[in-house]
């Protein structure tokens, strides 16, 4: 078993040394969202309505999570105080 892992490691190191399949330029050309990639990050155009909907969704998620944590804390305190 260790022999197979050793062979895979050697093949991987050979790939790295030769640079086959690891060319950064070819990766960018084959990337799914290459037109939105500026070299450091992916920038996606978002409309004002979509941005507002996304922020509204995040606020609802945060509010629901806070209410759930608060209720869970109250229930735990209630259960601990039962005789």
Whole-number Å distance between alpha carbons of 71 and 77 = 10
Spatial separation of the C-alpha atoms in residues 71 and 19, rounded to whole Å: 55
Q: Which residue has the higher pLDDT, 4 or 29?
A: 4
pLDDT in tens, 45-71: 889 999 999 999 999 999 999 999 999
- Spell out a b/e string for 6-37, using b for 16 or more CB atoms within 10 Å of the CB, else e: eeeeeeeeeeeeeeeeeeeeeeeeeeeeeeee
Neighbours of 54 (CB within 10 A): 11
Distance CA 65, CA 59 (A): 10
Q: Identify the pLDDT of residue 26.
A: 57
């Amino acid at each position: 078993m260790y022999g197979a892992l050793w062979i895979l490691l050697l093949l991987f190191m050979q790939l790295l040394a030769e640079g086959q399949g690891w060319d950064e330029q070819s990766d960018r050309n084959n990337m799914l969202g290459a037109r939105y990639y500026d070299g450091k990050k992916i920038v996606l155009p978002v409309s004002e309505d979509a941005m507002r909907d996304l922020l509204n969704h995040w606020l609802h998620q945060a509010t629901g999570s806070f209410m759930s944590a608060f209720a869970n804390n109250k229930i735990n305190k209630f259960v601990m105080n039962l005789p």
